[in-house]
Amino acid sequence: MGYSQLRWLRSGIGLLLVCMLSAGQAVAGEDVIQAGNVVVTATKTDHLIEDVPVKTEVITRREIEDRKLKTLQEALEHLPGLRVDMDSGSWGDKGKVSIRGMESRHVLILVDGHRIYGGHDASVDLQSYPTEMIERIEVVKGPGSALYGSEAMGGVINVITRKAEDGKDFSASAAAGSRNRRIMEATGSWKSNGMGSVLSYTSKHSDGVDPDYDQYKEHAIQGTLRYDLSPRAEISLKPYFSEHRMDYEDRIQQRVGVNPSWQWKPDNLSTLRLWGSWFRYDHESSDEQTGETATEYAHDMYETEINYSRLFSGRHLLTLGSQFEREERDDKIKEYEAEEDVLSFFVSDEIDFNPLVLVLGVRVDEHDEWGSEVTPKFSIAYRVSDAVKLRSSVGRGVNAPTLSKLYGQWRMGPYAVQPNPDLEPEESWGYDMGADWNPTKNISLSATLFQNEVDNLIVSRSIRQGAPPWDLVWENVEKARIRGVEVSTAIVITDDLTADFAYTYLDTENLDTGMELGERPMHQVSMRLGYFWRQYGISAFLEGQYRGRRYADEDNEERLDEYAVFDIVLNKDFGDHYQGFVRVDNILNKKDVTDAYDVDGTEFLAGVQMNF
């Protein structure tokens, strides 16, 4: 083991010891462990979070409401190993997320298990998805291609939406703040005689940092219609629509989708699921100087999947499934139409040798262009005691090139971007090992060592010969290694005081150049303190984030300084049905962060919420 390997291992172990020592001061209080929460993303089968064999992190609806989080990216940015990019230029993207140093395009974003699209550079913009309909967010880090195929090289984020409860429910909120920010939300639900529905509407407006470029308006409508055919069978339909408009360049982005599904449990040991999905992303913009159309394309994704799970011999939970995907793109400006089909088969076996659990999985994707891709994954979890669990996994990931890189040709400044139909999928192998320790119901500690080896990375190369326009071509060339450690702890210090802490260390290298990968901070820390004056209906939160030094470029010539940002949230209940809140972000007035455009001084948001 070399010096650099010892260094990052020592860093992680040191932080873990600090967390353990601080945790030992906790006293009796509420249960910090999210016992009873059911998760599905890690294995495509239902598990209590304390029993799931593959590490899954969950953000609950209660946490979103307490912290007054109004966007999906705000909910994710405090998790260890995650980095949220809120600056994507004139597109208006404010929520691209990466996991453990992987690119944001290597993270698969799902809503109720279905892919969503729309964002800059083959990434999904989380800004477009409202929090009002979220029941919980499940995050599984590391290669997920053995179950989900392409785009899951770095991990999977699955947003689980709300279901109707018995009776009727209505909630609404209004908020306003700095940068002319305005948010209105309303959600209603009902359920009776096995039929239920939820419908939510969100409206947002903001001038952003620079109103001439950043001003936007956004509307989103989302719903769920569900019917219980019998105690063992149900059907559901989930429609979604959002529109994001920016005055600059007359940019309009629309997302629309519908997801029908059917589930049947023929007995207590098996479950059969069938679902379909259609998601469409439309994007238009105009040249600010000439007024001519600069962007106009439609991106459609069709999916259907059938999977069956059954427990055999009381020990093997076997899941078999098949999925078909068709992706279509019609680009009027780049003058091309393209489509691709992928037929997939996957199998997973969860083998319970209590206290040892093994998960063996493999997926085969048959692509109509480059043939077969096989992505296996092996995970193991060992329950040492009720308080300690050890875990490890290894898996292969793939990421297919986008249709625009395969077939699109367009002008970008002084460059003529050329397609490359011979591009191959990006590939990775990911490894991790870790431990979870819950010494009491009030303390949760976790530590993970991880490494990702990435090959066939798709990069652009410019050919500067003669006068512009110069050719810009896509190639499979680079190899990279990303390794590090994550440490996190959650503590109930007293009945009224809670604390959370997370640390991530990254050691990255472009194996072709020997340089560090750009825009990956070596050190990243997040913390949160919560205090509850229950007799007065008041709760308060202090949140902080630290991002260490990093390079802005792949040549490591521009080094960026470290910085920290702190936020506060104050909530006050007025009776059983009303609540007021104030949120102040960046209370230390941090500005001029090169790679964090939105960090530009103190912001505030205040509002009221009612529930009936």
Furthest C-alpha separation in the chain:
75
What's residue 24's pLDDT?
38
Q: What are phi and psi of 404, to 5 degrees?
A: -70, -35
Look at 418 and 119; give whichever has higher pLDDT. 418
**Where does residue 498 rank: exposed (0-12), middle (13-18), buried (19+ CB within 10 A)?**
buried
Superfamily of domain 38-611: TonB-dependent receptor, beta-barrel domain (2.40.170.20)
Identify the band that residue 93 occupies on the pLDDT scale cut at 50, 70 and 90.
low
Closest CA to 187 of 196, 198, 176, 197: 198
Look at 538 and 462; give whichever has higher pLDDT. 538
Look at 34 and 399; give whichever has higher pLDDT. 399
**Element at 472 (helix H, strand E):** strand 470-492
Name every residue whose Cβ is closer than 8 Å to that of residue 213 and which is 6 or more positions away in sequence: 90, 248
Torsion angle in degrees (nearest 10) through CA of 335, 341, 342, 343: 170
Instruction: Compute the distance between CA of residue 329 and CA of residue 407 in angstroms, rounded to an integer.
Output: 10
- Edge-to-edge strand ranges of the sheet holding 57-60: 57-60, 134-141, 155-161, 107-111, 114-115
Token pair belonging to 174: 């209004």
The answer to whether the CB of 375 falls within 8 A of the CB of 152 is no
- What's the rounded mean pLDDT across residues 215-221? 93
Instruction: Compute the distance between CA of residue 232 and CA of residue 348 in angstroms, rounded to an integer.
Output: 23
* Residue 13 reports pLDDT greater than 80: no
Look at 392 and 87; give whichever has higher pLDDT. 392
Lowest mean pLDDT among 79-88, 241-250, 484-493: 79-88
pLDDT tens track for 259-288: 999 999 999 999 999 999 999 999 999 988
Identify the band that residue 53 occupies on the pLDDT scale cut at 50, 70 and 90.
confident
What's residue 117's pLDDT?
82
Look at 151 and 16; give whichever has higher pLDDT. 151
Secondary structure (3-state) at 455: strand
pLDDT tens track for 413-432: 788 888 888 888 899 999 99
Write 48-54 long-range contacts (CB < 8 A, 24+). Answer: 53/350, 53/357, 53/358, 53/359, 53/379, 53/380, 53/381, 53/391, 54/140, 54/359, 54/379, 54/381, 54/391, 54/393
Mean pLDDT of the chain: 88
Report how many helices (DSSP H) and strands (DSSP E) the chain contains, helices first.
6, 35
Share of the chain above pLDDT 90, in %: 61
- What's the rounded mean pLDDT across residues 6-30? 40
- What's the rounded mean pLDDT across residues 572-588? 95
Q: Give the number of other Cβ atoms within 10 Å of residue 356's Cβ.
A: 13
Instruction: Compute the distance between CA of residue 251 and CA of residue 294 in angstroms, rounded to an integer.
Output: 10
The answer to whether the CB of 129 falls within 8 A of the CB of 159 is yes
Secondary structure (3-state) at 122: helix
Instruction: Compute the distance between CA of residue 296 and CA of residue 282 in angstroms, rounded to an integer.
Output: 8
Look at 277 and 476; give whichever has higher pLDDT. 277
What's residue 241's pLDDT?
96
H/E/C letters for each residue in 192-249? Answer: ECCEEEEEEEEEEEECCCCHHHHCEEEEEEEEEEEEEEECCEEEEEEEEEEEEEECHH
Supply the pTM of this predicted model.
0.90
